[in-house]
Structure 1
């Protein structure tokens, strides 16, 4: 009896200890969170780090940019620019020291980064090296990396006669493909040029940070150059995107497919690959040599580089394939990233029921967390995925792998806690008002004082009044009007199937039709809106991405010790569930519903959303194929249309930030920017021709087509939203 009582007392003390320890850790976390909230306010530069540029690629120097009233203070903007999300494009020391390929000028120089249309910044508290907007030092497993934040693709700028306005949450003008190509060329030039390489090594060692010896630098420089080369080759498309666009869907899909394909599936691809004459490219012995030492379940980035290198080598019995033959193999594994879209604008996103151009992502519950995790995969999160022996794993259970002989551990550099915080931060962001439309906010008053002196920025009240009536007649059924500052606003996406809206279908179709090898997800169940689906060996890329993001979200941060990791993970899930006021809801609009026979039918559509702030989001349509709002109100010229009519331009220049406040868009002629020709699938400028001669209601005699006076009145009204 005495022993039993002693055991009971010890047991109670143990539980008390555990409870007290838990409460102590939880209290410490809350204190740390409170300190963090205070700490983020320390970066309080009144100009938000913005600086003037005297030498611009397209001859558009500008003064220090100003800001409009968007509900954010300087600290809010700077926190958004500089908050890490787990991106690791390159070792940080490398980026700081790297020179451009053909010169000794640093790659990160403001003029070079501005040329790629990333926005230069001066050093501030959280950005000590003066990186452009959306570039940060991100740390993972004790190593510093250069990473992207949301702001790199979702902050914009408008110039006018030497003046500049920064737009938080606006669509970037960035040329990410050009940037990544230039970065790879600069890394390769550093390896190839002895003098450049010695300067690079000296500069990296002088930082006294990650690297201590030249041999460490050489090894990592070769590895990261090869890795970036692999990424650029996988996502190469014969069609250029130019500025202000990126095929984000295609690139995210490809990144996940690279890590999901297993050795058995890769072996089948190599054995079955043929040339134009249907002759096999590799013998079974060559395939065996190429895959020697390659992991069975997860093929790492370095191993994939090794496979590609071996395929092109003639040494040691390797096949020595041509670049064209390697591309043929690539096409069996990956999908061509050939449907670029404009970078979306972020105001109202946390209040929206469905997001992405085709309404792919539901925004209720933990939906934003999964969506943002997929985004970070696309912008170079380190995916330390590995195959583990059977045993309980939440990620394995949620992704249906619990019965597998191996399950994937989805450890990565993705910072889920920061992703949840960033999504919450965006709730307070509002759309920008036209500069001469005053509010009581100091920023808007300053902008009004500057632009009131510019006649082109004046708003014509009579045109606005007529435009408001036209908007109600032609636009409001899809593009609802909202109060941009209403904290409780709910944004309902109005979806139109691609055949009805008539805009370029490539993005919507690719999101549904692209497939890939499912790796360890083969024969697992994926829970969906219409019921569970079995993921097959070759499956829709969307299924594989959904399963992978589920695994990532269910995996705690490896950079924290066990209890902290678990509590952070609980906080992140609770924050996502309870801070998100959006509930699951059916989609709205004229779209094909999902069915058991066609479970992704509703994604072959594009969504309309409220147009508040639309004036600051050129170029237009989801693929950026129309330069101005005025052009958007014109029809696309088709065979049989009158020659004397006014039509959308089939080609125009992109890259300038100089704004046209009359037509509402960026300068599109008279400079050496990217020439966008709207003639191929992915770039088409057709569709969304409401109120024109191609509108079915106009053809049926139900409406009169818009006159030129009507178009100018509508443009004037759209400025005021």
Structure 2
């Protein structure tokens, strides 16, 4: 018996010893990988950071090779941010290389065309050998190559002044994403329909010798991807024109989640409820059955949903042949109109902020940043290979989404790269706001700025704290203002709470909120569906990695995101309605104020980009421009904003909900401070003093 126990203890000791050895090996491999990753990250150090000069640019803007201000990033820091994939897959990589413009043989990715949509052209560098624009990158998923967006596409800005261009890392893009995607759809349709264009496209793709080997394969894929892009544009069609420099990102994220969660019975029910203006059903039961013939019972992927919309619009083979208006009426039963565009937020200090997003929806503590960024990639074309299957053992994603006891469970496999999302968030910790470049934009009048500092302390400081831009330990506290209190356009905040849709397999699962647990119903607020779906993606290992590494990486990403995050889980600051058991999302009917360091480089202003300059923002609402041009990067250093007249850009009008320029009238003596006090209106001299001080932030 003694010998038996000795053998058992010896075996346990041997096992523990080897487990310790295994842990040491894993830690050493992780350290080596980290060191090699840092070395690799530093290989792309082009002194121009890939930036190029543009002649004959859009709106007559010609500029020399852009320069960079000191924002705490080196050349390789910028280039790594521009070219690190997050798992976005907009289009097959080969297609983007070969696709021509709709009415030209010039490539769609030609720099002049890219500049027309106000993305930022680049030259080839080590991480970007094809010279894609800032924020476009090659993504590889399940053995196939794609082109997709990186964070930098929407969060890299540029300011031009008298021929000198200043690239702003982390600044809001001037991009017209809707115009870009519409142009992409038109170019793909033209490639399908024009024989010579189609022939050139097929030949150019074949010459790449990459993912396609036959013409038939290329044309089948072209049909599929054209349908997918067309579906996306139809689902997100809005009566509000976005123009340049803004996007309804949340509306589009919501719609992508709904598209991939609704099941076939729920879709059929929704289609039955689509009616004409006089109340008649648009589709008969027989038409619905025909349109949905062969469509998956549970998760309906892009390819199938694209086919559904194609069948709805087709007049062939007995399909209903809906016109655009009726097609949108059917759309509205499944999705929500993405009609609340907002400016692209600037990213400096985001890693040091307690709450983020315009409505403060994202708590930045714990694994919050990982969830926030996962939701973002869902919106910008992450491949969502979500499938439904019979319960078959342990599933972390099922536990996180409340599906662990369901017979049928959704698996949230996707192309979303959580490892890179964690690395990108960490990378942003070292990004600093840009300082006003006096040698380019002019000296700051210090006497006026000193007077302006006093005004700022009285009128602005309670919401917009002043921080040290280079303080590693800085914390940026969001000050929330209820939409009824601040008075700015309410569409974005209201949509975030009010929009609903079919919950698919998440029906009757339970989700936690700050005021208690709730049941997700079949018709549920999309914020609930998105929250669960995001958890599911986080809990699903990377399909492109072998089984041991996929689980180790996923656990490390979640653990590291939690333990490396110094932001504490605190309640929101400001003036807003509290969440209640009957209204658990009340606090989201508000907008966030944050520090204004670097604000000079982020026009136009207010959350929806409805005010062209800081000077205009200090005026009473009726004196602010009711219409102005957007799209130019030419800077106005006096009013502090971009050129707003004198060129044929996007004409922004402020008449409709979603576009309104109301509210935030502190300088006009109308909007009360957080303590309820209404201060006197600023006079003209005080406005200019305040603007001069804001330039120093």
| Shorter-normalised TM range | over 0.9
Cα pair 2:489 2:662 within 8 Å, conserved: yes
1:642-690 Cα shifts (integer Å, max 9, x gaps):
xxxxx11100000000000010000000000000001100000010000
Superposition pairs of residues 144-293 of structure 1, within 5 angstroms? 144-293=145-294
Whether 2:601 is the aligned partner of 1:601: answer no
User: 1:119 offset after TM fit, Å?
Assistant: 0.5
Q: How far, CA to CA, are the matches of 2:215 and 2:20 in structure 1?
A: 50
Superposition pairs of residues 268-417 of structure 1, within 5 angstroms? 268-390=269-391, 391-417=393-419
Whether 2:493 is the aligned partner of 1:517: answer no
Q: How far, CA to CA, are the matches of 1:503 and 1:366 in structure 2?
A: 31
Q: How far, CA to CA, are the matches of 1:703 and 1:290 in structure 2?
A: 61
Cα pair 1:91 1:146 within 8 Å, conserved: yes
User: 1:40 offset after TM fit, Å?
Assistant: 0.6
Aligned pair partner of 1:684 in 660, 685, 692: 660
Evaluate the alpha carbon distance shift between residue 34 and residue 701 of structure 1 in structure 2; reply closer, same or farther with a 3 A threshold: closer
Cα pair 2:620 2:668 within 8 Å, conserved: yes
Give the aligned partner of residue 110 of structure 1: 111
User: 1:268 offset after TM fit, Å?
Assistant: 0.9
Cα pair 1:496 1:606 within 8 Å, conserved: yes
Evaluate the alpha carbon distance shift between residue 151 and residue 5 of structure 1 in structure 2; reply closer, same or farther with a 3 A threshold: same
Cα pair 2:666 2:679 within 8 Å, conserved: no
Bigger drift between 311-320 and 609-618 goes to 311-320
Give the aligned partner of residue 710 of structure 1: 686
SS of equivalent residue, structure 2 residue 60: coil
Evaluate the alpha carbon distance shift between residue 534 and residue 225 of structure 1 in structure 2; reply closer, same or farther with a 3 A threshold: same
Q: How far, CA to CA, are the matches of 1:396 and 1:528 in structure 2?
A: 18
Q: What's the TM-score once normalised by structure 1's chain length?
A: 0.93
Q: How far, CA to CA, are the matches of 1:163 and 1:134 in structure 2?
A: 22
User: 1:286 offset after TM fit, Å?
Assistant: 2.4
Q: How far, CA to CA, are the matches of 1:290 and 1:54 in structure 2?
A: 50
Q: How far, CA to CA, are the matches of 2:14 and 2:383 in structure 1?
A: 43
User: 1:9 offset after TM fit, Å?
Assistant: 6.9
SS of equivalent residue, structure 1 residue 589: strand
Structure 2: tracts of 5 or more residues without a match: none
1:443-475 Cα shifts (integer Å, max 9, x gaps):
xxxxx3xx2xxxx61211110011001101111
1:41-82 Cα shifts (integer Å, max 9, x gaps):
000011111110012110110001101111111111011001
Evaluate the alpha carbon distance shift between residue 4 and residue 695 of structure 1 in structure 2; reply closer, same or farther with a 3 A threshold: closer
Give the aligned partner of residue 651 of structure 1: 627
Give the aligned partner of residue 506 of structure 1: 491
Q: How far, CA to CA, are the matches of 1:406 and 1:102 in structure 2?
A: 49
Bigger drift between 17-26 and 472-481 goes to 17-26
User: 1:207 offset after TM fit, Å?
Assistant: 1.1
SS of equivalent residue, structure 1 residue 564: helix
How many positions carry a matched residue from both structures? 693
User: 1:701 offset after TM fit, Å?
Assistant: 9.8
Cα pair 1:248 1:340 within 8 Å, conserved: yes
Q: How far, CA to CA, are the matches of 2:578 and 2:78 in structure 1?
A: 39
Whether 2:433 is the aligned partner of 1:457: answer no
Cα pair 2:86 2:416 within 8 Å, conserved: yes
1:234-268 Cα shifts (integer Å, max 9, x gaps):
00012211000100110000010000111110111
Q: How far, CA to CA, are the matches of 1:570 and 1:353 in structure 2?
A: 24
SS of equivalent residue, structure 2 residue 574: strand
Cα pair 1:26 1:567 within 8 Å, conserved: no
Structure 1: tracts of 5 or more residues without a match: 437-447, 638-646
Cα pair 2:486 2:671 within 8 Å, conserved: no
Aligned pair partner of 1:662 in 638, 644, 647: 638
Q: How far, CA to CA, are the matches of 2:383 and 2:331 in structure 1?
A: 22
Give the aligned partner of residue 524 of structure 2: 539
Superposition pairs of residues 65-144 of structure 1, within 5 angstroms? 65-144=66-145
SS of equivalent residue, structure 2 residue 592: strand
User: 1:20 offset after TM fit, Å?
Assistant: 4.7
Whether 2:489 is the aligned partner of 1:487: answer no
Give the aligned partner of residue 426 of structure 2: 424
Give the aligned partner of residue 612 of structure 1: 597
SS of equivalent residue, structure 1 residue 368: helix
User: 1:4 offset after TM fit, Å?
Assistant: 9.5
Q: What's the TM-score once normalised by structure 2's chain length?
A: 0.97
SS of equivalent residue, structure 1 residue 533: strand
User: 1:10 offset after TM fit, Å?
Assistant: 7.2
Output the aligned Cα RMSD: 1.8
User: 1:275 offset after TM fit, Å?
Assistant: 2.0
Q: How far, CA to CA, are the matches of 1:28 and 1:293 in structure 2?
A: 48
Q: How far, CA to CA, are the matches of 1:612 and 1:670 in structure 2?
A: 29
Q: How far, CA to CA, are the matches of 1:95 and 1:316 in structure 2?
A: 33
User: 1:11 offset after TM fit, Å?
Assistant: 7.8
Q: How far, CA to CA, are the matches of 2:342 and 2:361 in structure 1?
A: 14
User: 1:322 offset after TM fit, Å?
Assistant: 2.7
User: 1:515 offset after TM fit, Å?
Assistant: 0.4
SS of equivalent residue, structure 1 residue 668: coil
SS of equivalent residue, structure 2 residue 351: helix
Evaluate the alpha carbon distance shift between residue 702 and residue 194 of structure 1 in structure 2; reply closer, same or farther with a 3 A threshold: closer
Evaluate the alpha carbon distance shift between residue 314 and residue 702 of structure 1 in structure 2; reply closer, same or farther with a 3 A threshold: closer
1:390-430 Cα shifts (integer Å, max 9, x gaps):
12201101111112121110000000010000000000001
Bigger drift between 490-499 and 201-210 goes to 201-210
Give the aligned partner of residue 32 of structure 2: 31
SS of equivalent residue, structure 2 residue 680: coil
User: 1:22 offset after TM fit, Å?
Assistant: 5.7
Aligned pair partner of 1:550 in 535, 554, 562: 535
Cα pair 1:504 1:687 within 8 Å, conserved: yes
Give the aligned partner of residue 478 of structure 1: 463
User: 1:12 offset after TM fit, Å?
Assistant: 7.0
Q: How far, CA to CA, are the matches of 2:560 and 2:672 in structure 1?
A: 46
1:508-531 Cα shifts (integer Å, max 9, x gaps):
000000001000110000111111
User: 1:319 offset after TM fit, Å?
Assistant: 2.8
Q: How far, CA to CA, are the matches of 1:622 and 1:208 in structure 2?
A: 46
Q: How far, CA to CA, are the matches of 1:7 and 1:296 in structure 2?
A: 53
Q: How far, CA to CA, are the matches of 1:693 and 1:489 in structure 2?
A: 31
